[in-house]
Structure 1
């Protein structure tokens, strides 16, 4: 019991000292706020604030690079805790973009940061990457990934990865808007994948990493 209380005390002191040394959050004036979310990310009982900004750096024909800021609230001030320039796609990296910002959502749930980004291939086919990030061992990691590849009439594919357990679950389900069309049989795959480590947030971009099935030539991108 004494060891447990001492560990909590050390954790409190560490978090307190860290929060006191964080810089004030002052994003560049020409950056544009896209989204924000609030919630507890480090289990200290206090809300953090997460911001997604469009930067002034171009990417592609019309797009702008995006940046994520994770901030703490200290004595009524917003302090910058973490910035990341890889996990958010550019503003126009959404294929046939239907509306500004439609390809991005951010929320905090169960002490984790969750992002969802959608690419519209055409009016009925889209792919969505949902990624879950957690602060642990004094760093930020990708602990989960779900990719959904969906067509209104033909198919609904889902690829789930739990990086902590190394479990991969894949579901191929089919349908049709045409009564005369032959529908393929649904199929499901569940296997362990030999990840060498839980990927870190820094340097990770959703949809850019290929994973091949161990037993066949199938693959997907997480």
Structure 2
């Protein structure tokens, strides 16, 4: 808004300067015409008095020379005014170009601001999704830790899954071992747990979190 106000003030100043120059030009032209008329009248008078003597003719020649000099001066001033008008018009065009450039910059800035708002909204949505997944994983992890800490008779340790406390079978809940730590769990329990872990790790890896692969499982027969 300040750029637009500054441009309007400069534009109004330029218009006033051009009007003043034009008015001055017109005044000079009128003055020139008046002097020409005066010169013609004097020439006419002097021509009538030429017959009265050589001195009158000499004075007339001097008057003509002076009027010619003044006419040349007026022409020079008018030429200078034309040059000034041209300079002002060039400056006006330059200001219009600057205004257009500023408007384009403002449009570009508005577009960048809108893109920033959209990115922030997406970040908030992603953050909420990650928070939800994290809470689910914490719940599952807490349940797993709790299940692992439940004491069982020694004869059941080798035949039941520490997660669900159910016995192993030969279909979907056969005994499996994690090769990184060698802990043993039922395969279906591990799949449910690791599904949440992998989904969370995949989402958070985009934010710089290291993804660790816990899917290296070895079935125990």
Q: What TM bracket, shorter-length normalisation?
A: under 0.3
Please give the TM-score of this superposition, normalised by the length of structure 2: 0.21
With CA pairs under 8 Å and 6+ residues apart, which has the higher RCO, 1 or 2? 2
**Larger of the two Rg values belongs to structure:** 2
State TM-score, norm by structure 1.
0.21
